[in-house]
């Protein structure tokens, strides 16, 4: 190993996970370089007196010193603004709910950052993600598998569900086999400054920013109506799965009825209040509606950013909150395992989730010309356009897609 040391560039974020990842790689005999990504420094947007990236950058540098590895910072803020921040604004403006963490991994860490690492003649890039990878060989061809982290409570495979084979080939996840407690223990033993640092909250690399405040930078408040739709509304009559037919035999009309979101009009319910902008809200949200006297809590069941109306339903079991299916357009389907891609007309059974740390649910995937229909065995709460659905076989992420 030592005569031909493999070079790894570690994304040192200034947190405990990437710190320990760098240490473990060094222990294994890799030549390790620490690289800090500066992804945001537009002070007008943070609306906070704290400057998280300066502190994080310093911590990352101190960790590199402690471990005796070279360290440099790289400014990716322009790419980050274009690929993540502008995208988020446009998605929220259109009434969708993007996942910046998944995008950050696909567009920044495993694309721009990966290319920067390759310029440093790296063989691999490594991150402090709680996930694992291995490989299978068939007919002399290697296929990489993206696996859940050993710590079920911290598994981050969902955030990496948009990675492709080329990206996985170059990726290392040194802490994926460990529990979070073990990672902290290693950091304490090494006396790393990040050992007891809290896990970062907030947007991927933007730091301590609350989303509504962040959105208000570009999306101006506009007063609009809050409409409460009764659970007995005729809109929900056909939303169930027909009895006695198996999902692969459903025609397109039935699939669309189950998997596409309901469309609402103002007269489908009664006006119960006002809001400051439909683009600030997402499906399943209950905070920030400020409508009193309803008994049960109100939940957002749909947003119409064109008409600036928020549709709500009363109580957690409201049929507008629960859906049995979702749809992914053809161009938005991504296979981590391209060898398992479904052809048009094929169906498969997988476990799926629509958000981080959500327990996996059994689902049938049906591939049609226009895209992929995902039918769950049990209704899912708060399916929102713009989010990602990821499907798994056991603990392996097989594919993912953007929900329409």
Q: Which residues are catalytic?
A: 104, 204
Q: How many residues does the structure list for the chain? A: 404
Q: Who's near 55: CB < 8 A, 6+ residues apart?
A: 14
Give the three-class secondary structure for 52.
helix
Strand partners, 95: none
Q: Classify each residue of 97-112 as buried b or exposed e, where b means 16 or more C-beta atoms within 10 Å of its C-beta.
A: bbbbbbbbbbbbbbeb
Q: What is the DSSP string of 324-381?
A: EEEEEEGGGEEESSGGGPPPTT-EEEEEEESSTTPPPEEEEEEEETTEEEEEEEEEEE
Which has the closest alpha carbon to 197: 380, 404, 19?
19
Residue whose token pair is 């069941």 = 301
313 vs 334: CA distance, rounded Å: 33
Rg (CA), the chain: 23
328 vs 372: CA distance, rounded Å: 5
Is 31 within 8 Å of 194 (Cβ atoms)?
A: no
- For the beta carbon of residue 25, count every other beta carbon within 10 angstroms: 21
Q: What is the DSSP string of 237-299?
A: TT-SPPTT--GGG--HHHHHHHHSPP---GGGSEEEEEES-GGG--TT--TT----S-SSPEE
100 vs 107: CA distance, rounded Å: 10
């Amino acid at each position: 190993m030592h005569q031909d040391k493999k070079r790894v560039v570690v994304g040192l974020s200034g947190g405990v996970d990437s710190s320990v990842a760098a240490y473990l790689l060094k222990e294994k005999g890799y030549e390790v370089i620490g690289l800090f990504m500066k992804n945001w420094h537009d002070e007008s947007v943070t609306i906070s007196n704290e400057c998280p990236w300066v502190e994080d950058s310093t911590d990352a540098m101190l960790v590199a010193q402690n471990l005796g590895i070279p360290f440099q910072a790289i400014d990716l803020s322009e790419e980050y603004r274009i690929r993540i921040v502008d995208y988020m604004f446009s998605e929220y403006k259109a009434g969708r709910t993007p996942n910046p963490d998944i995008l950050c991994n696909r567009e920044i860490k495993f694309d721009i950052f990966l290319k920067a690492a390759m310029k440093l003649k790296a063989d691999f890039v490594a991150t402090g993600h709680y996930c694992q990878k291995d490989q299978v060989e068939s007919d002399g061809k290697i296929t990489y598998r993206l696996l859940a982290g050993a710590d079920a409570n911290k598994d981050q495979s969902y955030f990496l569900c948009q990675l492709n084979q080329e990206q996985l080939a170059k990726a290392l996840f040194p802490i994926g086999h460990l529990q979070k407690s073990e990672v902290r223990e290693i950091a304490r033993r090494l006396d790393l400054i990040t050992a007891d640092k809290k896990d970062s909250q907030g947007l991927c690399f933007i730091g301590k920013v609350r989303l509504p405040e962040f959105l208000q930078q570009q999306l101006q408040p506009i007063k609009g109506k809050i409409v409460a739709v009764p659970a007995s509304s005729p809109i929900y009559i056909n939303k169930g799965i027909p009895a006695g037919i198996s999902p692969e035999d459903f025609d397109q009309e039935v699939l669309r009825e189950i998997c596409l979101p309901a469309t609402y009009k103002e007269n489908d319910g009664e006006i119960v209040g006002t809001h400051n902008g439909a683009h600030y809200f997402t499906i399943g949200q209950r905070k920030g509606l400020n409508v009193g006297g309803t008994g049960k809590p109100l939940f957002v069941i749909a947003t119409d950013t064109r008409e600036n109306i928020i549709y709500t339903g009363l109580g957690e079991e409201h049929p507008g909150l629960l859906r049995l299916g979702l749809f992914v357009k053809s161009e938005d389907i991504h296979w981590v395992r391209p060898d398992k891609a479904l052809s048009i007309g094929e169906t498969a059974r997988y476990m799926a989730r629509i958000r981080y740390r959500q327990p996996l649910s059994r689902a049938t995937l049906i591939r049609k010309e226009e895209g992929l229909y995902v039918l769950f065995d049990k209704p899912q709460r708060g399916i929102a356009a713009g989010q990602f659905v990821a499907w798994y076989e056991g603990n392996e992420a097989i594919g993912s897609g953007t929900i329409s």
